[in-house]
A = this chain, B = another copy of it.
């Protein structure tokens, strides 16, 4: 059994990690931390796990040695504590944003401050297995991708691999869990329920990750909609050659036919013709679909995930499986619910 600890485990990504790893046949969750809830049962923060685990939160200072440490601390905190984490565990998987970029200037541009640990830049493997399977197998430091970035990258990557994308406008629609578990005026139910809020029309930090992963001329906007979990990236890709449906199918099949967690969703009829994140809650799938615009050199790519799963905890467990030579789907078999 691989002994794992979860630092910063009272939030939503931490709760998902705990859910997944508690049921994982090869993992033994030995510790979970929360400064605020130290001493309390984990189900105090994660009521779905009542009866599933008897773990109690402890403080970061009480972390014991283990095999893998997952950090779900807020942005900035992982960088501050990374040396402590490495003393505790030979392998660290960070779900925060601190080590996703390898370029210090790009970090400063998008995060508005110098990187706190530039010496570690480039040491972390970006955690999307579909991109970095080989490197993850050898990695001791992993930085999981941002949820919106994950959706956009997996949706668009086949076009970039093929060299057909000229420029792209990515418009993501996201649920409220993306903003974490702290109540704010903007998350107050009467204000947030039913809202369609353009919370980041420009300047979203995940754009830096997307450009780093794909390169090229990419534009990004994000709209919060009525949903708790889920991201749908609608990617308007302008392509440099004429691509018919068959060609697109070939491009996407080549990229994803062997991937256990990427499904191509594109039906001729029915109400589930394209990816829909509402069907993915709790699952680790990224569903990808596409539609070419017959009247323009535009291909609309749809990419859906559960932001807390493939966009965070599920991605981390998938990376954990790869790092340990386990079957990649282990502990990630839940397929999602319908109706949802």
Contact = CB atoms under 8 A, between A and B. Distances in A.
Interface string A172-212: 01011100011111111111111111100111000000000
Contacts of A302: 198, 201
Interface residues of A, number: 86
A95 interface: no
Contacts of A335: 19, 23, 48-49, 51-52
A98 interface: no
B183 A196 contact: no
A198 B338 CA distance: 18
A270 B118 CA distance: 34
A121 B231 CA distance: 43
A242 interface: no
A41 B198 CA distance: 22
A300 interface: yes
A279 B188 contact: no
Given A270-B44, A336-B48, A338-B48, A189 B193 contact: yes
A296 B232 contact: no
A56 interface: no
Contacts of A173: 173, 196, 223, 225
Nearest to A51: B263
Interface stretch (A67-75, A140-148, A285-293): A285-293
A247 to B, nearest CB: 16
A282 interface: yes
A232 B196 contact: yes
Nearest to A280: B48
Nearest to A337: B282
B298 A219 contact: yes
B336 A202 contact: no
A234 B225 contact: no
Contact of A171 (B187, B236, B339): B236
A304 interface: yes
A248 interface: no
Contact of A198 (B192, B202, B300): B300
A333 interface: yes
B52 A190 contact: no
Interface of A: 12, 15, 19, 23, 44, 46-52, 169, 171, 173, 175-177, 181-198, 201-203, 219, 221, 223, 225-230, 232, 234, 236, 263, 265, 270-279, 281-283, 285, 289, 291-296, 298, 300, 302, 304, 333-340
Q: Pick the 6 closest A-B CB pairs, nearest first.
A: A190-B339, A201-B300, A189-B192, A226-B226, A202-B293, A47-B272
19 contacts: A15-B338, A19-B335, A23-B335, A47-B265, A47-B276, A48-B336, A51-B285, A51-B335, A169-B171, A171-B236, A187-B187, A187-B188, A197-B274, A198-B232, A201-B274, A202-B292, A203-B293, A221-B236, A223-B232
Given A50-B263, A229-B337, 7 more contacts: A173-B225, A181-B191, A183-B188, A190-B228, A195-B276, A201-B302, A229-B339
